[in-house]
Amino acid sequence: MIQLHDKQFKPFLSQAQLLAAVKNVADKIAADYKDETPLFVGVLNGSFMFVSDFLKEYQHPCEVSFVKLSSYSGLTSTGIVETLLDLPENISGKSVIILEDIIDTGRTLKELVHLFSQTNVKEFKIATLFHKPSVYNGEYKIDYVGMEIPDKFIVGYGLDYNELGRNLKEVYQLNQNTMINLVLFGKPGAGKGTQAE
């Protein structure tokens, strides 16, 4: 069990499980793009570890870049997506594959789709390491999924809880008993018998 800010997190995915999911995505994309040179676009900040391990598995010709959407983003009244780090130049005609850390409701994905709809890329596909199908709005097809996970908050391997936990090399899941402990016993983890794992 680890503590980040006010919450406790329990181990969820090992390094071996993570790398297997990453390799799964890399192998599928490699099979589909064997005659092409795709441009991978990682979505900062959360995807940095995924992108790094992904590229070590994807040993074929490719280009790599990053994009960062502002956290208050969404479409403005003018219909323009706010970006902190903009799209790479000269992407027209390229086959772009987005590398996302996690697709939850799909709200961020909608912004990305809108951003790329203003370009004239040849093709635009989505790869995500994690996906929570039970809460996804289903608006767009997700082309490559590393691992489907339940609707529980996770941290580590690039993913944060209020900016902590990105550097963890394994993935942890919010310990749902934290709230019960806080209510019943006044502090996290104090409840006898509530720490199941």
Binding residues for ATP: 189-194
Binders in 6-25 for Mg ion, by CB under 5 A: none
Q: How far apart are CA 110 and CA 188, in angstroms?
A: 36
Three-state DSSP state, 22: helix
Count the alpha carbons within 13 Å of 132 in the hemisphere toward its beta carbon.
16
Verify binding: residue 46, Mg ion, rule CB under 5 A.
yes
Determine whether 104 is an active site residue: yes
Dist CA 2 CA 117 (whole Å): 41
111 touches Mg ion by CB under 5 A: no
> Which of 82, 160, 194, 195 is the binder for Mg ion (CB under 5 A)?
160
Distances in Å between the Cα of 22 and the Cα atoms of 79, 148, 177, 183 are: 34, 12, 30, 38
Question: What are residue 123's phi and psi, to 5 degrees?
Answer: -160, 150
Distance in Å, CB of 107 to ligand 5GP, minimum: 4
Which position among 27, 104, 143, 160 bears the catalytic label?
104
Annotated binding residues, as ranges?
A: 189-194
Give the gyration radius of the chain's Cα atoms. 18
Among residues 58, 69, 97, 101, the one that binds Mg ion under rule CB under 5 A: 101
Identity of the residue, 122 or 169, whose beta carbon is nearer to ligand 5GP in the bound complex: 169
**Given the complex with ligand 5GP, which of 33 and 130 has the nearer CB atom?**
130
- The nearest distance, CB 12 to Mg ion, in angstroms, is 16
- Answer whether 50's CB lies under 8 Å from 171's CB: no
Query: Does 110 participate in binding Mg ion (rule CB under 5 A)?
Result: no
The nearest distance, CB 53 to Mg ion, in angstroms, is 16
Backbone angles phi, psi at 69, to 5 degrees: -90, 145
- Pick between residue 29 and residue 103 the one whose CB is nearest to Mg ion: 103
Interacting residues with ligand 5GP (CB under 6 A): 46, 101-109, 153-155, 159-161
> Shortest gap between Cβ of 110 and Mg ion (angstroms)?
13
Q: Is 104 in the site for Mg ion (CB under 5 A)?
A: no
Cα separation of the two ends of the chain: 8
Which residues does the annotation mark as catalytic? 104
